[in-house]
Amino acid sequence: MPVRGGVSTGFTLKRPIIWVFPLILQLFTFAAGQAAEAEIRVDLEARRALISGSFSQSEETAAKSNLSFLLSIASVDRLGERIDGLRAFDHDGAELSVRQLIAGEYLAAKPPQRFSFGVRLEPPANRLASPHVSWLGKEGGLLMLGDLLPFEGRRERSARLKVILPRGWRTVSVYSAEADGSLKIDDVSRAVIAVVRENTQPIKFRSKRGAAYEMLVTGEWQFTRADAEEMLGEIAEEYEKLFDRDPAENVLVNILPFPQGGGVGEWAAETRGQTVTIVSGDTPFKTQSVQRLHEQLRHELFHLWLPNGVKLTGNYDWFYEGAALYHSLKTGTRLGRITFANFLETLSQAAAIDARMPAGSLLDASAGRWRGNTTGVYARGILTAFALDVAMQDASRGKRSMDLFVRRLYAENREREADGNATILRMLGEMAETTPLAERHIKGSERLDMAKIGLAAGVAWDGRRFTLTEKPSGRQRAILRDLGYNSERRRPRYQNEK
Ligand SMILES: [Zn+2]
Helices vs. strands in the chain: H and E counts, helices first: 14, 23
pLDDT at residue number 176:
87
Rounded to the nearest whole angstrom, what is the distance from the C-alpha of residue 60 to the centroid of ligand 1?
35
Q: In CATH, what is the architecture of 203-305?
A: Orthogonal Bundle (1.10)
Q: From CA 86, how far away is CA 436, in angstroms rounded?
A: 55
- The Å distance, Cα 131 to ligand 1 centre, comes to 12
Residue 426 pLDDT:
98
Ligand 1 centroid to Cα of residue 439, in Å, is 25
What's the gap in Å between 303 CA and the centre of ligand 1?
7
For residue 182, how far is its CA from the centre of ligand 1 (angstroms)? 31
3-state secondary structure of 121: coil
- Encode pLDDT of 118-135 as tens digits: 999 999 999 999 999 999
pLDDT at 383: 97
In angstroms, what is the span from residue 76 Cα to ligand 1's centroid? 17
In total, the chain counts a number of residues equal to 498
Give the C-alpha distances (Å, rounded to integers) separating 219 from 137, 140, 216, 285, 461.
Answer: 12, 10, 10, 16, 43
Helical ranges in 244-339 per DSSP H: 286-305, 317-334
Residue 381 amino acid letter: G
| Cβ contacts of 266-271, under 8 Å, gap ≥ 24 | 266/127, 266/128, 267/292, 267/296, 268/127, 268/128, 268/129, 268/130, 268/131, 268/132, 269/131, 269/296, 269/299, 269/300, 270/74, 270/131, 270/132, 270/300, 271/300, 271/301, 271/303, 271/304, 271/308
- pLDDT of 282 reads 85
Ligand 1 center to residue 260 CA distance, Å? 23
Distance between Cα 299 and ligand 1 center (Å)? 6
pLDDT at 11: 29
pTM here is 0.90
The C-alpha atoms of residue 194 and residue 101 are separated, in whole angstroms, by 31
Which strand ranges, in their side-by-side order, compose the sheet holding 169-172? 135-137, 140-144, 192-197, 169-172
Contact 404, 431 (CB under 8 A): no
Question: What integer pLDDT is reported at residue 489 of this predicted model?
Answer: 53
Cα(278) to centroid of ligand 1, in Å?
A: 11
Residue 359: exposed, middle, or buried by beta-carbon count in 10 A (0-12, 13-18, 19+)? Answer: exposed
Handedness of CA 440, 445, 450, 451 (dihedral sign): negative
* Whole-number Å distance between alpha carbons of 194 and 116: 22
Report which secondary-structure segment, H or E, holds 407: helix 402-413
Give me the phi and psi of 398, to 5 degrees please: 90, 0
User: 328 C-alpha vs ligand 1 centroid, how far in Å?
Assistant: 10
Predicted pLDDT of residue 210: 97
Provide the CATH number for the domain formed by 37-197 in this structure: 2.60.40.3650
| CA of 205 relative to ligand 1 center, distance in Å | 23
Q: How far is the CA of 302 from the centre of ligand 1 (A)?
A: 8
Residue spans of alpha helices (H) in 306-361: 317-334, 340-356
DSSP letter (8 states) at residue 3: P
21: enclosing H helix or E strand: helix 16-31
Per-residue pLDDT of the chain (498 residues; tens, 9 = 90+): 333 332 222 323 333 334 444 444 444 444 345 689 999 999 999 999 999 999 999 999 999 999 999 999 987 999 999 999 999 999 999 999 999 999 999 999 999 999 999 999 999 999 999 999 999 999 999 999 999 999 999 999 999 999 999 999 999 999 989 999 999 999 999 999 999 999 999 999 999 999 999 999 999 999 999 999 999 999 999 999 999 999 999 999 999 999 999 899 899 999 999 999 999 998 888 999 999 999 999 999 999 999 999 999 999 999 999 999 999 999 999 999 999 999 999 999 999 999 998 888 888 887 775 566 788 899 999 999 999 999 999 999 999 999 999 999 999 999 999 999 999 999 999 999 999 999 999 999 999 999 999 999 999 999 999 999 999 999 999 999 999 998 655 554 444 333
Contact 239, 247 (CB under 8 A): yes
Query: What separation in Å is there between the alpha carbon of 370 and the centre of ligand 1?
Result: 13
- Quote the ligand 1 centre to 300 CA distance (angstroms): 6
Q: 184 CA distance to ligand 1 centroid (A)?
A: 27
| Distance from the alpha carbon of residue 306 to the mean position of ligand 1, in angstroms | 9
| Residue 271 Cα to ligand 1 middle (Å) | 8
Q: How much is the pLDDT for 244?
A: 98
Closest of 113, 124, 117, 77 to residue 100, by C-alpha: 117
CA of 349 relative to ligand 1 center, distance in Å: 17
Cα 186 to middle of ligand 1, angstroms: 23
With the C-alpha atoms ordered 106, 109, 110, 114, is the resulting torsion angle positive or negative? negative
pLDDT score of 2? 36
C-alpha 49 – ligand 1 centre gap (Å): 30
- The three-class DSSP label of residue 480 is helix
261 CA distance to ligand 1 centroid (A)?
Answer: 23
